[in-house]
Structure 1
Amino acid sequence: MPPTVHDRPRDDRGYPVPAITPWEDGRPQFALTDYQRSADCARQRQCSVCDVLMPRGPVWRVVGAAESAAIGAALAAGRPYRNLAPTLEGPGHRACMLYASMVCPYLARPNARRALTAEHPDELTAAVVRGAVRGALGAVVGFADYEFAVTGSRVLFRFVDVIEYLPHDNADAHLAELRAELAGHGGGPARPVG
């Protein structure tokens, strides 16, 4: 566990609570995103998992099967990838996203299912349906940077220039990468794609 995640507030089971997770009646709502916290993290360049400043330069996020497949196909064809459709998921440190990919049940395994349905589904949240399966081949992806917009009801992100693509069927495959990152061997400039 990254030290900055270790220092996060915990739920009653002892699980660290990500920076953008809302609390209700003293309990974290893991499947939801706190609008104000997400906006604050975006504006202040803080990791959406640990709430610590991300230095200028690369950021990471965990992507599901559809986006992972699109990134993989673009890279295999030698084309650049840019998510033209905005996403609600904010960026984080490499170690935090590797860790999140392994401990979040929905992100970690291809047969994992969503626990909740989006309250007001739209083009961004239509796939957020209770029981929906993540599907094969998620990924932890590094990007050169991110852009964001804070609207009246949500925070939207776009990510530019893939610099690292770490696909996984089961996110336990990232354990060696996470250990190396935490030991300081995975730090510094991101490894090139390919």
Structure 2
Amino acid sequence: MPAPVDARPRDGRGYPVPAITPWEGDQPQFALTDYERSANCARQRLCSVCDTLMPRGPVWRVVGAGESEAIGGALAAGRAYRNLAPTLEGPGHRACMLYASMVCPYLARPNARRGLDARQPDDMTEHVVRGAVRGAMGAVVGFADYEFAVTATQVLFRFLDVVEFLPHDTADAHLDELRAELAGRGGGTQPR
């Protein structure tokens, strides 16, 4: 576990709670995103998992099957990839996203299903429904940078220039990468 994640507040079971996770009383709502927390992370260049500063340079995020397939296809064809459609998921450190890909049940396994619906479904979140399956291949992806917009109701992100692509069927495939990253031997700047 990355040290900044280890320092995060914990739920009643002892699990660290990501920076953008909303709370209802003393219960974190793991499958949801808090607007104010997400906006703060975007504006201050804070990791959406650990809430600490991300230095200038690459940022990472975990993507599901559809985006993983699109990125992998573009890279295999020698084409650049840029997500023109915005997403609600913010960026983070390489180690934090590798870790998140393994410990979040929905991100870690292809047959995992969402436990909750989006609170107020709209065009961006209509797919966030209880029981939705992640799908075949996910990935941890590094991008040269990100753009964001804070609207009245959402924080929207777009990511620029893939610098690393780490696909996975099950995210435990990233365990060696995470160990290397935590030991200070992580790469994270070249497409793979």
TM-score range, shorter chain: over 0.9
- Rounded to whole Å, the distance in 1 between the matches of 2:120 and 2:76 is 36
Q: Matched residues in 1 for 2:111 and 2:93: separation? A: 26
One-letter identity of the residue aligned with 1:34? D
For 2:190 and 2:29, the matched residues in 1 are separated by 36
CA contact (8 A) 2:142 2:189 kept: no
SS, match of residue 139 in structure 2: strand
Compared with structure 1, are the counterparts of its residues 22 and 91 closer, same or farther at alpha carbon in structure 2 (3 Å cutoff)?
same
Structure 1 consecutive aligned stretches of length 4 or more whose deviation exceeds 6 Å:
none
User: 2:47 maps to which residue?
Assistant: 47
Determine if the alignment matches structure 1 residue 85 to structure 2 residue 82: no
Please give the secondary structure, in 1, of the residue aligned with 2:128. Answer: coil
Q: How many residues get paired?
A: 192
* Structure 1: distance between partners of 2:121 and 2:158: 20
How many percent identity over aligned positions? 80
- What is the TM-score when the length of structure 2 is the normalising length? 0.98
Runs (5+) with no aligned partner, structure 2: none
Aligned pairs for 1:78-117 (under 5 A) are: 78-117=78-117
Q: Secondary structure at the match of 1:54?
A: coil
Separation (CA, whole Å) in 2 of partners of 1:191 and 1:173: 19
1:33-182 → structure 2 map (5 Å cutoff):
33-182=33-182
Give 2:190's aligned residue.
Answer: 192
Taking the aligned partners of 1:51 and 1:133, their CA distance within structure 2 comes to: 28
Displacement of 1:193 in angstroms is: 1.0
Runs of at least 5 residues in structure 1 that lack an aligned partner in the other structure? none
Q: Deviations over 1:13-41 (max 9, x none)?
A: 00000000011111101011110000000
